[in-house]
Amino acid sequence: MRDIMGMMGKVKEMQAKMEKMQAEIAELHAEGKSGGGLVTVILNGKGEMQSLKIDPSLFKEDDVEILEDLIVAAHKDAKDKAEAAAAEKTKALTAGLPIPPGFKMPF
Convert the pLDDT of each residue in 2-20 to its tens digit. 677 777 777 888 888 888 8
The pLDDT tens digits of the residues spanning 31-88 come to 999 999 999 999 988 888 999 999 988 888 787 888 889 999 999 999 999 888 888 8
Residue 88 counted as domain residue: yes
The reply to whether the predicted model has a pTM over 0.75 is: no
- Domains held by the chain: number: 1
CATH of the domain at 60: 3.30.1310.10
Residue 103 counted as domain residue: no
Residue 12 counted as domain residue: no
Contacts (Cβ under 8 Å, ≥6 apart) of 49: 41, 42, 43, 75
Residue 102 counted as domain residue: no
Residue 57 counted as domain residue: yes
Largest pairwise CA distance in the chain: 73
Range of the domain at 52: 29-94
Residue 41 · residue 75 · CB < 8 Å: yes
